[in-house]
A and B are shown apart, each in its own frame.
Chain A
Amino acid sequence: MAGNLLPTERLFRLENFGHSIEKPVYLYRPTHLEQVAELFEQAGKNGTRIGLRGAGRSYGDAALAGGGVVLDFQRMNRILEWNPDTGVITVEPGVTIEDLWRHILEDGWWSPVMPGTMFPTIGGCLGANIHGKNNWKKGTLGEHVLSFTALLPNGETKVCTPTRNKKLFYSMISGMGLLGVFTSITLQMKKIYSGNLEVKAWAEPDLKKMLEATNQNRDEDYIVGWVDTTARGWGLGRGQMHSARYLEEGEDPYPMLSLNPATQDLPDTIMGLVPKSMVWRILKLGMNNLGAWGGNTAKYLLNRTLGNHKTYLQSLVAFTFLLDYVPNWERAYGRGGLIQYQSFVPRNTAYDVYHEILQLSQNRSLPSYLGVMKRHREDQFLFSHAVDGYSLALDFKVPPRKRETLIRLTQDLNQIVLSGGGRFYFAKDSTLTPEVVRAYLGEKTLQAFRTLKAEVDPQEILQTDLYRRCFRK
């Protein structure tokens, strides 16, 4: 790439969301499409590699491109069109989930699919094809996209809908930013009649009951289970279930009030006392095996007694964006950061697989510190992660001195998940190898991806660390 130097002022150290990986990158934050097109053109000539990044909320290496250019889309964050009568919204890729709900909620709309945090960008969410606590019912975010415009590395601009440029539509959504850039995205929102949800909370004593509860409450609008990952023996996999339903028209006497973002905002302090910004520092003190056991056990016992079988109203924001209660919570995991290990396993094998996963991680003295269970359904996107079954997301601390042990544990977990016919999720992943990817995606899917990649990005301009790791030939 002689003659065409990237300016050294753009060289930065960039991390993943889990703070467990760091890479030097040349960071660009375009505001206009022309800048992106120009970079693509230059890269075509110079052999520069480009990785796409939204808000950098991927747990693993999906939004890193070590040594290359990273295009961060957070400044392309304009809401291009909003129709409060039809609930159709058109946005630039850098608009975040927070921008979205703050814009539409007052008009009585909500996204049919919401992730557990409001900080990712919509471009990033579509790249990963994220899901929410209603995946079995509403599918992934991609299923609510009416159309999008894409800029491809070969310079072409394409409009894609579920029927027009169908292949590209179903591949770019879930394609982890490896095929092109979403330049504008049109989504269908969902009408709601209150800013509150009716939430039920109850405890379940073991894994079997947790899975049953997750399965049996499918007529609710949302279901999510918290799993006590440190409980052993009979209580293995015990936890607390939350289900929620939207309020019907007329159920909320003051919908204008509850739909106002001002009433939705999360509190600034915890229990009216501790400033939120300090909480991660306090959590950090307990982020070891003993602390995690204590925390999980105490939570379960409280859920089992005082908090059992409660029904209450909760704001949409508070219920949906649970992770955002503690800003920078991921920093509590300390110097080595964390990884999330989320696996998606079909109904009939879920119990065995999750039983083994929980037990194995405990036996290796690397228990997960937080576990979350959800219900899913299949979808037809290229790198689909979901199955007709369950997912269990486990957060693991990365102990600086026990990295090998953790890597070996996740390698063994991968085999357990594969043997149960399970799948993985690139947005969370930092453990997959090309062999595991081939095993769960299948050779046909990989071939389809390679063919499409060769067509839209013949020079392989778009490359992230995840791409190099998982799609190595």
Chain B
Amino acid sequence: MTAESKVLGDHPLKPMPVAVVVGASSGIGAALAEKFANEGYKVALLARRVEKLEEICSQINQPGEEPRAFLYQHDVTDVESIPALFQELLQDLHTIDVFVYNSGLMYTVGMSEYSFEKDRSTVEVNLLGGMAWLGQAAILFERMGSGHLVGVSSVAGDRGRVANPPYHAAKAGMSAYLESLRNRLSRQGVHVLTVKPGYVTTELLGDAKTPFPPSSPESVADAIYKAVRRRKQVLYTPWWWRLILLIVQHIPSFIFRRMSF
């Protein structure tokens, strides 16, 4: 939090901005929640694992100060509960300025494995939950004529590789959904950011070997925060992933089919 906002607190003429992060218990989400809190935001953290959220909140909320981090236990596959929970968030926080959907999971899928259970679950967490949440936030931001919608997609959404069909499909869906929202909402003054990280050292990645060096969740969170401030549309992070994907996107299918990558 900057010294300035510390002096002024939450003033009607300069209200503390509010960020909501869905999927905030670890990795990029947790780093992002801390980043926003450090920049003087009020943050709401949502995830299944309450203990992890409590840990992050206790780091942000300093004794003697008014709490600025609030946690909500939530499973994004429980889509029925989302509209009511969104209203609860809005009532508790009084307004929302930045809404981030970050929840994601990635199974290890064998080369000749076709598990519908894994497919469904991947799509539910990476895509459907995102649609349910971002749709709610879109209504709010459209009415307000302002706001930042952030969806954490992935470079994996740019092409479908051999490795993990459901993950590529879900992330491609997410990227397209976000682009549609952007095309709808930018004329209403709403900023929509698609985040496409490369490899990040998170629970998702585990200790898998990566062909490119992974980046830390903190550096991704910093990049997202900056992109929000600058109203960037699509963020590849680190930046050189844009070049890699430019090449990957142009690999013709007759070659791509034959690659083990």
A→B interface (CB under 8 Å): 1-6, 8, 11-13, 20-24, 47-49, 60-61, 66-68, 339, 398, 403-404, 406-408, 430-431, 433, 465, 468-469
CA A2 to CA B74, docked complex, whole Å: 13
Is B73 interfacial (CB 8 A cutoff)? Answer: no
Q: Which of B33-41, B84-92, B175-183, B244-252 lies at the binding interface?
A: B84-92
- Chain B residues within an 8 Å CB radius of A13: 143-145
Does the CB pair A67–B84 fall under 8 Å? no
**Contact B13–A66 (Cβ < 8 Å):** no
B87 touches A5 (CB 8 A): yes
Are the C-beta atoms of A1 and B88 separated by less than 8 Å?
yes
Contacting pair A61 B12 (CB below 8 A): yes
8 A-B pairs with CB atoms under 8 Å apart are A8-B139, A11-B139, A22-B144, A48-B91, A60-B12, A67-B92, A339-B13, A407-B11
How far does the Cβ of A351 sit from chain B's closest Cβ, in whole Å?
A: 29
- Other than A11-B139, A67-B90, A406-B13, give 16 A-B pairs with Cβ distance below 8 A: A1-B87, A3-B84, A5-B84, A8-B83, A13-B144, A13-B145, A20-B13, A21-B12, A21-B13, A22-B144, A24-B144, A48-B91, A404-B14, A407-B8, A468-B94, A469-B12
CB pair B83–A23 under 8 Å, yes or no, is no
List the B side residues contacting A407 at CB < 8 Å.
8, 11, 13-14
Chain B residues with CB below 8 A from A66, complex form:
94-95
| Smallest beta-carbon distance A281→chain B, Å | 21
**Within the complex, what minimum Cβ distance (angstroms) separates A371 from chain B?**
20
User: Which residues of A lie under 8 Å from residue B90 when comparing CB positions?
Assistant: 24, 67
CB-nearest residue of chain A relative to B14?
A403
Q: Bound state CA distance, A67 and B97, in angstroms?
A: 12
- Would A24 and B14 be within 8 Å (CB), given that A6-B87, A11-B139 are in contact? no
Q: 7 shortest A-B CB distances, which residue pairs?
A: A66-B94, A67-B90, A67-B94, A67-B91, A13-B144, A430-B12, A403-B14
How many angstroms from the CA of A47 to the CA of B14 in the assembled complex? 27
**Chain B contacts for A6, CB-based, 8 A:** 87
Q: How far is the CA of A407 from the CA of B7 in the complex (A)?
A: 10
Enumerate chain A residues within 8 angstroms of B11, measured Cβ to Cβ. Answer: 407, 431
Contact across chains for A11 and B140 when beta carbons are under 8 A apart: yes
State whether the Cβ of B81 lies closer than 8 Å to any Cβ in chain A: yes
Residues B84 and A11 in contact, CB atoms below 8 Å apart: no
The answer to the question of B93 belonging to the interface, with a C-beta cut-off of 8 Å to chain A, is yes
In the bound assembly, the distance between CA atoms of A6 and B10 in angstroms comes to 27
A395–B84 Cα gap in the complex (Å)? 41
How far does the alpha carbon of A468 sit from the alpha carbon of B66 in the complex, in Å?
A: 13
A404 to B96, CA, bound (A): 21
Q: Which residue of A lies closest to B11 (CB)?
A: A407
Nearest CB of B to A276, in Å:
28
Does B117 interact with chain A (Cβ within 8 Å)?
A: no
Q: Does B113 contact A (CB under 8 A)?
A: no
Complex-state Cα separation, A237 to B66, whole angstroms: 40
Chain A contacts for B81, CB-based, 8 A: 2
Q: Mark B49-89, 1 if CB is under 8 A from A, else 0.
A: 00000000000000000000000000000000101100110
Asked if B4 is an interface residue, CB under 8 A from chain A, the answer is: yes
